[in-house]
Amino acid sequence: MADTPLPDDLLALLREVDTPTVCNAIEVAQGKRGFNRFTRGTMQHSRPGDPAIVGFARTARISGLAPPTEPPEVIRARRMDYFRSMAGGQGPTAAVVEDVDYPNCIAGWWGEVHVAVHKGLGLAGAVTNGVLRDLDVIDEGFPVLAGSIGPSHGYVHVVEIGTEVSVMGIKVQQGELIHADRHGALVIPAEVIPDLKRAIETVIASEAIVLGPAREPGFDIDRLEEVWAEFEAART
């Protein structure tokens, strides 16, 4: 899909809510259970608790387990093409980078230098199945959700730019809208975007049916039975 501008109110809301809420809201917008375009497994977050990563994907594939076989000038030129691609697209944008060596990744592409560069180019954050490093010195304001944490950069080099990538169980095409936080990442289907704000508000309101009473003094099983019936009627 081609990236298209998000309404300001939807973008602000997406940055405020967590990824599980968006996952539930997509099902509300679709009117059914079964949405499955989300990551699998436990991932590592550069700063848990940071606002969610929301952006149209700028994709690439990297490798670092073995030296590249192409000439050095080709590798250098492709890296600069990678940066040009990352700087493109309508905002907000986010990097989604597949390490093709997974699950044996060693290359810390996401460290102090690349976080600063990608943040400077205007991206909102990064999602990868690869390695994150330099945790104590990377810039604030650029969340990274990674497959692992490690010390090395290996023989890291870019192998593809702008193609479909596979990261922890989801396939992402350039230009698709992603949402990610410490829980994982997901792709927001283009067709639900017009209804997504309403769907998020519906999820929050339906959960409040139980959460409010459950946090009040005197909550008991009788009160639970009462509010749970109302909750079941309101949820997808």
Angstrom distance (rounded) from CA 173 to CA 129: 15
The number of beta carbons lying within 10 Å of the beta carbon of residue 91 is: 14
Cα dihedral 203→171→44→149 (10° resolution): -170
Angstrom distance (rounded) from CA 27 to CA 14: 15
The tokens 């079964």 sit on which residue? 34
For the record, the structure tokens of 172 come out as: 């992402």
Q: Is 134 marked within a binding site?
A: yes
Element at 198 (helix H, strand E): helix 193-214
* Binding-site sequence positions for Mg(2+): 134
Q: Which residues are annotated as a binding site for substrate?
A: 133
- Residues comprising the binding site? 133-134
